[in-house]
Amino acid sequence: MHPGPLVPSVLTRQYCHRSTAIWNGSLVEQLLHCRRRSKVLLRGPQPHPRVVSYIQRAGLYGLYALGFIRIDWALITALVERWRRETHTFHMPHGEMTITLQDVEVLLGLPVDGRPLVASPIVDPAELCQQLLGVTITERALDGSRISLPWLSRQFQAPITAETNEQTVQQYARFYMLSLLGGNIFVDKSNNKVHVVWLQFLEDFDRAREYSWGGAALAWMYRELCRACEMPAKDIAGPLILVQMWAWERFPHMVPELVAPPEIDYGEDVDGQPLPRGPHGVSLDIWNILSLIDEPFVIKRL
């Protein structure tokens, strides 16, 4: 049996693809380590309505309303094993599939129309944080142009109330959105840092919603999938919640089934909710094409 593509003229990087290591039995880490940093933020107290209003103005309310969803490492790993960087598609038994801007817009609620996020060089990250967040960055909290999310969250422990001045509310809103973006979308291998570069797009809340956050998220996801599908990658970052929700929409048999879910009080840990840990790779091999939902967002007309 031939382990790779029959015609290698398109898939030219089979030699370093994760599937080759699986075939040769040389894969050490079976599951990719899925990195993100949103659990602490989204399991904490809900932001004040005044803060939420700024999140809505900036066009990031969909990401905020998504809440915390546990990542299925096995499912993400199985999909990565079918991703090819040469085509930016998943190679399934029936053909190729990929994640599009429509998926980003519908599943994450991020705007996909508008100006691209072209960042200007950050000459002084500490000064930008002081200006837009009102915090003084320490040397330990700053790593180049990245800031520690745990450190940043400790600077915003004071609750927002109806009496809080507007400047403080705006600074808290920027912190919250920066944490959402750094912990859910633009996640890197550090797992606990976020690039200050995203902060410059949150200076003007009304202008922020004019950017294509969805386009940037899709590009970041493509880059992470391309990196993780080749050896010797052992982890993956980026908007993994997008990859997982895309799979749930297309492959209903992979959607987790909550069996008699217990009542969860506000603020309690939600990690105990069960997710299937079955052999997702095998499921993708043997599933029936008739069970595929090719256009989950299209309303069928009678």
- What gap in Å lies between CA 222 and CA 240, rounded to an integer? 11
Q: How many residues does the chain have?
A: 302
Span 128-155, average pLDDT: 91
> Is the Cβ–Cβ distance between 74 and 243 less than 8 Å?
no
Does residue 264 fall inside a structural domain? no
154 Cβ contact partners less than 8 Å away, ≥ 6 residues apart: none
Domain coverage including residue 88: 22-256+271-291
For residues 41 and 152, the model is more confident at 152
Tell the residue number behind the tokens 């079918």, with chain if given.
82
Does residue 126 fall inside a structural domain? yes
- What gap in Å lies between CA 138 and CA 251, rounded to an integer? 47
Span 64-78, average pLDDT: 90
The pLDDT value recorded for residue 276 is: 47
The pLDDT value recorded for residue 272 is: 46
Does residue 123 fall inside a structural domain? yes
The pLDDT value recorded for residue 292 is: 60
Number of domains in the chain: 1
- pLDDT-derived band at 68 (thresholds 50, 70, 90) equals confident
Does residue 296 fall inside a structural domain? no
- What is residue 260's DSSP assignment? S
Does residue 1 fall inside a structural domain? no
Does residue 15 fall inside a structural domain? no
- What gap in Å lies between CA 193 and CA 182, rounded to an integer? 7
Span 136-154, average pLDDT: 89
Does residue 77 fall inside a structural domain? yes
The mean pLDDT of the chain is 85
Span 266-274, average pLDDT: 48
- pLDDT-derived band at 274 (thresholds 50, 70, 90) equals very low
Q: Is the pLDDT reported for residue 46 higher than 80?
A: yes
Lowest mean pLDDT among 81-90, 177-186, 191-200, 283-292: 283-292
Rounded to 5°, the CA angle 188-227-249 comes to 80
Angstrom distances, CA of residue 11 to CA of 8, 89, 176: 5, 11, 41
- What gap in Å lies between CA 91 and CA 96, rounded to an integer? 5
- What gap in Å lies between CA 23 and CA 14, rounded to an integer? 11
Please, what sign has the CA dihedral across residues 76, 78, 81, 87?
A: negative
Does residue 12 fall inside a structural domain? no
Question: Structure pTM?
Answer: 0.85
